[in-house]
Amino acid sequence: MKKALILAICGVILSGCTRSVEPNDLAYVVAIGIDTADKPELYDFTLQIANPQAISGGSNQEGGEGGKETVSNLTITAPNIYSAVNIANHIYSKNVSLAHTKLIVVCEEIARTEGLAGLGETIARNEEIRPNTYLSVVKKEAKDYLKEIKPTNEVNPVKYYEVIYESEYSGFIPKNPCRDFYIRSLSPESENVLPLSAKVEEKEEIGTQNNEYGGFEYMTEDYIAGNIKTKGDIKTQTLGMAIFKDDKMIAEAGGVETELYNMLTVKYDRSEITYLYKNTPDLAISVAQTQRKRPKLDVDITSDVPKINVGIYLEADLRTVSQNYIIEQEQDNFEQQVTEEVESALLKFLDKTARTYQSDIVGFGSYIKKNFKSYDEFEAYKWQEKYPTAEFNVSVDFHLRRSGLINRKRG
């Protein structure tokens, strides 16, 4: 009996060896790009595969420009992601694994014409792709965007995508991983948004995106990915958001609008913001702003027109001020002006989501669910049809907390 027991225990312990795969035998896809192909119903899938040797060598050895690349790109035409992976397995010298995929980028054409509902389901069904994988819409071609990705400060491409898409300082892009995208695509309570990415085109007229929100992000352009005027080696940008309705992209919004969106959706951590102070209109007052409390959202559906109340709490530290004007001594006045600017910007943005986009991207629909006795009743209410008529009331509670290392009493 003892021998049988030992054999059985060995069987259990050594079972992990069956069909085991060494990490070195796998090719880790870190990003996937999806573009339209020449034939309808087919897509160009660009698999960005990590080069572990270049990554483990560190940037001082072979990584970086001119050295061994940390990623390689392989574009395959196939009907879906898994067919592309299957074909890649026959081309690439290693088995392709999606377990470390951090980013899936889809070209704008697919997002606008076909929608991404199928993609959400495909990703959610797969056990390899993580629920926190980032999704993004790329202006023009996804393959071109991925080819231009050259992590400068990060050798590890996964880390690079984490920094770009998940940074707590990135108020200009929405944080909507594929798990949230799938949930929202199934639910009638809210619509989706995704970050916008682009490859910088040299010949384009760039750097002229008018900020329609006036005193909020004063003197800052409402940039969209691909339109930020930069000089240097970085040829990719992620900024702004793609707005969806019924799983199809219907519009794009700039960084400023995205920042307002983030404030309303608990996804805003902190950012450097500029405000107009009417006493110094020639200078944008810059503050480091945080949102310490969750926004208070309430929807009244007792009448035919939904009434939406929004309460936002913000805190800020002074960064730059006018040399000739002592803002520290007019804190109440400054706070009052900023409060009005944020309220006006939020109202304008919410009005735009209802009247122009006609898409409840903030997810106010989730706040009306408590009014219904069953899910069927909630569905029958058809919230997304009611939302374009909604009226908004915004109240902002803004507090200037600190003034940095300097506090002036005289000019």
Partner 1 sequence: MKTVLKSRETTSILIILLTVKMLFTYPRYLIERCLNGAWLSVMVYSILALAIFFVTQLVYLKTGRTTIITQAEAIGGKILRGIVGTLVITLMMINIAPMVRAFPEAIKTVLLQNAEMLVIVAILAIGTSIGAYLGIEALGRVAAIFLPLAAFFILAFFVLLAPHFKVTNLFPFSLFDVSIGNTSSFSLFSDILVLNFLLPYIGDMKTVRRSGILAIVISGITGTLIVLAYCLVYPYPSSARFIVPIYQLARMVKIGTYFQRLESVFEFVWSISIFIYCSLYLYIICDIFRKSFDLTDYKPLILPMLIILLRLVFWEESYTGALRSDFVASNILYPVMYILPLFIGLLYMAKQRRKI
Provide the minimum distance between the beta carbon of 276 and partner 1 in the complex, in angstroms, as a whole number.
34
Contact criterion met (CB below 8 Å) for 60 and 86: no
Both structure tokens of 237: 């940008």
Tell whether residue 374 is a contact of partner 1 (CB under 8 A).
Answer: yes
Tell whether residue 373 is a contact of partner 1 (CB under 8 A).
Answer: yes
Provide the minimum distance between the beta carbon of 154 and partner 1 in the complex, in angstroms, as a whole number.
12
Q: Which is nearer to partner 1, 11 or 40 (CB)?
A: 11
In angstroms, the first-to-last Cα distance of the chain is 92
Tell whether residue 86 is a contact of partner 1 (CB under 8 A).
Answer: no
Contact criterion met (CB below 8 Å) for 258 and 272: no
Both structure tokens of 101: 């995929």
Considering only residues 6, 8, 91, 305, which one is a binding residue for partner 1 as defined by CB under 8 A? 8
Considering only residues 68, 94, 112, 130, which one is a binding residue for partner 1 as defined by CB under 8 A? 130
Tell whether residue 11 is a contact of partner 1 (CB under 8 A).
Answer: yes
Binding segment for partner 1 (CB under 8 A), chosen from 13-21, 134-142, 278-286, 326-334, is: 13-21
Both structure tokens of 16: 């992990």
Tell whether residue 18 is a contact of partner 1 (CB under 8 A).
Answer: yes
Q: Which is nearer to partner 1, 9 or 234 (CB)?
A: 9
What is the spatial distance between Cα 130 and Cα 333, in angstroms, rounded to a whole number?
48
Provide the minimum distance between the beta carbon of 260 and partner 1 in the complex, in angstroms, as a whole number.
21
What is the spatial distance between Cα 176 and Cα 13, in angstroms, rounded to a whole number?
40
Element (H, E) at 178: helix 178-186
Count of residues that interact with partner 1, criterion CB under 8 A? 32
Binding mask 161-190 for partner 1 (x = CB under 8 A): -x----------------x--xx--xx-x-
DSSP per residue, 245-260: ETTEEEEEE-HHHHHH
Q: Which is nearer to partner 1, 18 or 302 (CB)?
A: 18
Cβ burial of 300 (10 Å; 0-12, 13-18, 19+) is middle
Where in 331-370 is the site for partner 1 (CB under 8 A)?
366-367, 369-370
Long-range contacts of 49-52 (CB under 8 A, 24+ apart): 49/73, 49/74, 49/92, 49/96, 50/100, 50/156, 50/157, 50/158, 52/23, 52/24, 52/28
Where in 145-164 is the site for partner 1 (CB under 8 A)?
159, 162
Write out the residues near partner 1 by the rule CB under 8 A: 5, 8, 11-12, 15, 18-19, 21, 124, 127, 130-132, 159, 162, 179, 182-183, 186-187, 189, 366-367, 369-375, 377-378
